[in-house]
Structures are given as C-alpha cells and as structure tokens.
Amino acid sequence: MKRLPGRLNVFQVTMLEWRGQHPYTAVHALHLPLLPDDGALAAAIDAERAQLGLGLLELDCRRRRFAWHAHAGTTPVERTAGEPDLCAERNLEREIERQMNTAFPIEGTLDPFRFFVIREARGGFLGIAYDHFIAGGDSIVRLMNRIVDRLEGAPHAGSSPPPYPPTHLPLFLRHPLRAACAVARMPAMARSCRRTLRPRYRDIEEGHNGFALHRLDAASLGVLAGAARRWGVTFNDVLLALLLLVRDTQTRARLGAARRRELAAASIMNLREIHGSSAHDVFGQFLGSFRVSHPVPPGITLEALTRDIHRDTSRIKREHLYLAGLFAMRVDRVIGRFQTPRQRMGVYAKGYPVNAGTSTLNVDALWRPPSAAPDYLRGVPTGPLAPMVLAATTAGGAVRMGISFRTAAFTRSEVDATWADILSRVGALQ
C-alpha cells in the first residue's frame, strides 16, 4: 500500500476515535453585508482550496496518515432556508447544531469541508463545517479570510506552504527534561481527578451536541478585559473562573461529599507557536489541552478564583505540563483497544472528570487586510471530554459565545441559565 505523506499527531488520532462514536464536527460562520450568488461563492471557494492544496482528503485511519489531492469538481454550497418565523441568527444557531451532529465519512477519500449560506434581507452568513481532526480554528480563519478577500476582488498571490504540519513528537524531543517532568506530574493529576466531581450523563453513549449562541458586546468585553489587566491574568483565565463559579452554584451538594468536592475545567490551547518556524502558516491542527481544578469554596470572589487559576495555567505553560495531556492521550489509545465503545465514552467522565471547557480564538489578531474582520462565530464539539464547551470568538471588538453542550447532560434552559449567570457576574464588575 502506498505511503501517504501526512502524519496525524496524537490529538488528531484521539479526535478520530471520538468521531468513531459520534460526529466530531466544528463549525465557523461569518457575516457578509453582500452575499454573492452560490456560483460566485463556489468559484471563490474552489479557487482558494486549489491554491492552498486543500482538495479531497485521503485518510488511512489504521496507519494514521493522510494526503491531500486535487478536487476536480465544484464545491457545493448548501442553501439553508431556515424557519420563516425565526430571525437569521436563530436559524444560524439551528444550522450550526445540525452541522455539528452531521458526520463526515469515516475513512477513504472524502471532502472534509461543507460550506453553507443563510441569507437575510441584507447579506447573510457564510459558514463552514469541517472534520475537526484535520484543522484547528486558526487555520479555518485563514481559509475564510482568503475566501472573503477573493470575493472582494483581492485574492492572495504567491505560493502557499504545504498542508502537512509536523506532529507533536518534536516537542518531546526538543524538551526531553520538561517532557519527563510533565509525565512525572501525572500521579498528581490522577489525585486531582479523584477529588473532582464527575459530570453526570443520562446516557453516556449519547453524544448529541446542542448549541446556543450569545454575544458579549464591546462594553462588556471592555469590562472583562480591564479586570483581567488589573488582576494580571488572561482573558481565558477569567472565562475558566466564570465557568467554575457558575458550575459551583449548580453543584452545591458536592460540598457535603467525602471526597469529590472540587470542580475542574479544561481549556484547548494552540501549540503552533511552540512548534516554531516549521509550523508557521501551515494549514493543519496544533491543538493541545490542559485541565485546572479548584475546590471553589463558598464566598470566593471572581478575582480570587481567577488569580488562583492563573497561577496554575502559568505553571502549565511555563513548564510545558500540557505535554502530560498529550502523553496521556497516547496511553489512553493503547488502553482503549481493550475497551468496549461504552467504556471508551465513559473513561473521561470517570478517570479525567471535567465539568466544563473553554476554547478561545481571537479573529481580530488573525485576520489580514485588505478586508476587515467580520462578525465571526464558532461552534466547537464537546466530544466525550467535557459536557459543555464555551467557544469565545473575538472579532470586531466584541465576543461571540458559542456554547455547545451534551444534551445527555444539560437542557437548553440550563445552558441559558448558565449564560445569564455569566452575564450577571460580568455586569457586577462594572
């Protein structure tokens, strides 16, 4: 059998296993004030995919390899009519949920992208659903940036980097001492997991994702960013603290438990810059993750909790402790060969409990002229790792909050109450 040129990293292989149980599809969408007809959209999409070498994908799951091939056909653009009595944004919310729960082919030669449009009176939304294992959000932003520029008559010139990124192995080889120290921290991580409240699912094998779309306006973002600067923390640290505080109000019964009294949150982290020049502008996925836990005692303030979390996240980044998570994924993959599908779906809830997660993406920092960053939003699948994920996307000075949630763990009303609680806490900072 021929040897395919691209190699999947350990996070990508883990995502492939997740999508074997339930679709693991991410979705981006942006607003265009003038939305061209479907033919012009397809032509722009085809031209950019051809220039970047992103045609059809040949995937060999067993050997963990892939290859991009030219796509001779035309990329279909799905036109979503939506419900006539709902606004375009509500229809968009429903369409993102539908796309997140629609699978891509498991293996062979496939198209890992689906494009769709939702038209409104003036312009509309252009969306892309993609098989999440093949790309991180930053790569999709750059692809959408190029498509928008081409639609506006300013296509990008010049050659493009090959779409075959390095795996995470060089990180372990380049930092052997830090990698060893990170792995040595795994017993402490295991002890933390035994102290953490486990998420509860009505059916552990039910992976359906619900989706709720909200917005943090420029004024509220300014308040939150200002608090982060005063406290010397990151925006993501504040989001993690907010999620833990909200989950605390929903799980107060845990405080009487003998052992599992802590709450934990996970965060996706982009490792592209850590890879160095070999990863610069390459289309692909460089994702890792980390986990923080805290007892969240009664009466703790948002500032105090955020500072505690920041101490943990700073150490994780400084000492490369996220490498332990990548190593654990590799170990879990070996163990998973001897487990049933139900056991594999439940291993995170039981052995690596996380009560919520975050994924942040700053489109304003990634978007390149001549076009200006549009209104931009995302839906990130939960998978078996977390029952709820808050995808915060910064664009145009505001933040779109896409909340995906396992419907086996939360109802829509519970998610809306979560968002209302977050808004209330942000408002209290003013």
Say if residues 239 and 220 touch (Cβ distance below 8 Å).
Answer: no
What are the C-alpha distances in Å from 430 to residues 160, 223, 229? 46, 6, 14
Intra-chain end-to-end CA distance of the chain, in Å: 63
| pLDDT for the residue 263 | 96
Considering just the CA atoms, what is the radius of gyration of the chain in Å? Answer: 21
Q: Which helix (H) or strand (E) holds 172?
A: helix 169-174
DSSP symbol at 340: -
Share of the chain above pLDDT 70, in %: 98
pLDDT for res 252: 79
Q: What is the pLDDT of residue 376?
A: 97
* Strand, helix or coil for residue 202: coil
Give φ, ψ of 273 to 5 degrees: -65, -35
**Do residues 43 and 361 lie in contact, with contact meaning Cβ atoms separated by under 8 Å?**
no
What's the rounded Cα separation, in Å, for the pair 151 and 388? 35
Q: Which CATH code fits 6-151?
A: 3.30.559.10
Listed residue (249, 253, 251) closest to 302, CA to CA: 249
Q: Is the dihedral of CA 420, 425, 428, 430 positive or negative?
A: negative
HSE, side-chain direction, 13 A CA sphere, residue 267: 27
DSSP string, 88-118: HHHHHHHHHHHHHTSPPPSSEEE--EEEEEE
Q: Note whether 138 and 272 are within 8 A (CB).
A: yes
| Of 259, 340, 347, 262, the residue nearest 300 (C-alpha) | 262
Which of 377, 371, 365 shows the shortest CA–CA distance to 148?
A: 371
pLDDT in tens, the chain (430 residues): 578 999 999 999 999 999 988 999 999 999 999 999 889 999 999 999 999 999 999 999 999 999 999 987 889 999 887 676 667 788 899 999 999 999 999 999 999 999 999 988 788 999 999 999 999 999 999 999 999 999 999 888 766 777 899 999 888 888 888 889 888 988 888 899 999 999 999 999 899 999 999 999 999 999 999 999 999 999 999 999 999 999 999 887 777 777 888 999 999 999 999 998 878 889 999 999 999 999 999 999 999 999 999 999 999 999 999 988 888 887 777 777 777 777 777 788 888 999 999 999 999 999 999 988 999 999 999 999 999 999 999 999 899 999 999 999 999 999 999 999 999 999 999 7
Give one DSSP letter per residue of 215-249, joined into a string.
Answer: EE-HHHHHHHHHHHHHHT--HHHHHHHHHHHHHHH
pLDDT for res 86: 67
**Counting beta carbons within 10 angstroms of the beta carbon of residue 364, is it exposed (0 to 12), middle (13 to 18) or buried (19 or more)?**
middle
Instruction: Supply the pLDDT for residue 199.
Output: 93
Q: Checking DSSP bridges between strand 113-119 and strand 124-131, what pairing results, if any?
A: antiparallel
CB distance 317 to 162 below 8 Å: no
d(CA 239, CA 212): 17
Burial class (CB in 10 A: 0-12, 13-18, 19+), 124: buried
Q: What tokens does 26 get?
A: 């991410």
* Torsion over CA: 25, 344, 59, 287 (sign): positive
> Domain 169-427 - what CATH class?
alpha beta
The amino acid sitting at 280 is: H
CB atoms within 10 A of CB 155: 14
Looking at residue 192, what is its pLDDT?
Answer: 92
Sequence ranges of the domains in the chain: 6-151, 169-427
Q: Which tokens hold the place of 61?
A: 């799951």
Residues 217-272: tens digit of each pLDDT: 999 999 999 999 999 999 999 999 999 999 999 887 777 777 888 999 999 999 99
Q: Where are the beta strands (DSSP E) in 201-333?
A: 209-216, 263-270, 287-294
Q: Yes or no: say if 268 and 392 are a contact pair by the CB < 8 Å rule.
A: no
